[in-house]
A = this chain, B = another copy of it.
Amino acid sequence: MAGSDQEHTARQSASTRERLLESATRLFGERGIEATSLRALTDAAGSNIAAVNYHFGSKEGLLRAVVDQTMRAVNDERALRLDELESAARPMSIAALVRAFVEPGIGLVEGHGHRGSDVARFIGRVMSEPDARVRQIFAEQVEPVEGRYLAAFGRALPDLDEDGVRFVYTSMLGLLSVHQSGSFTTLWAPEEGSGTAASGLGIVDRERLVAFITGGILATLTARATTVP
């Protein structure tokens, strides 16, 4: 905190940490979490393999740090926009609720400058990650805000039972995940760019997505659920 030598080493360590976070965001998003080896990661970051363990404890600790760094802004904005909706006019429209949740997610791209597409792809990847431990890490991060939104949807959709609310909420999450990660797009267009497959990602059409989700929810209201015959 005082000596110039200490500052030097401190800056070096901070820089290594930063580079590890950046590389992890990019590589986890591009190749997947499991598929990204610590060696490839530390090579890209220009550091030794053991640096991950030193700075983050483990690969999982690194993942947790990346999720925290990338999702914090989204969480905060979602919470803020829900605050606004709740303190405003009583009847909360479904469209407004959907928009308040979806737009901060899409906004990931703008919020991170040139790393925007990396960040968006990383989050899309994490959201569509089947591994239970990864899901857990993500859930811990977004749980508080998501809980508030789930409750808000419940109040805004009084005609739906608990299962129905969860259904539409899950649908919204799924759609956001799918369009953000671009998973299915690669099926019928495996080769787009040469090096990175990142180009157009994140430029999701907000209006289209909000319209689809809102329309889907409203349609669910009129269609009565078929119970077992």
Q: Which residues of A contact B (CB under 8 A)?
A: 32, 34-35, 125, 128-132, 135-136, 139, 143, 146-147, 150, 164, 166-168, 170-171, 173-175, 177-179, 181, 183-188, 190, 205-208, 210-220, 222-226
Complex Cα distance, B32 from A32, in Å, reads 13
Q: Which residue of B lies closest to A168 (CB)?
A: B212
**Copies held by the complex:** 2
Complex Cα distance, B32 from A128, in Å, reads 12
Cβ of A211 to closest chain B Cβ, rounded Å: 3
- Shortest 5 CB-CB distances between A and B: which pairs? A215-B219, A174-B178, A211-B223, A216-B216, A212-B216
Cβ of A143 to closest chain B Cβ, rounded Å: 8
Supposing A205-B167, A207-B224 touch, asked if A183 and B128 sit within 8 A by C-beta, the answer is yes
Is B211 within 8 A of A220, CB to CB?
A: yes
Complex Cα distance, B226 from A121, in Å, reads 22
Is B174 within 8 A of A177, CB to CB?
A: yes
Partner of A219, one of B131, B146, B166, B216: B216
Cβ contacts A to B, 10 pairs, < 8 Å: A128-B183, A147-B188, A167-B179, A174-B179, A205-B225, A207-B225, A208-B225, A211-B223, A213-B216, A215-B218
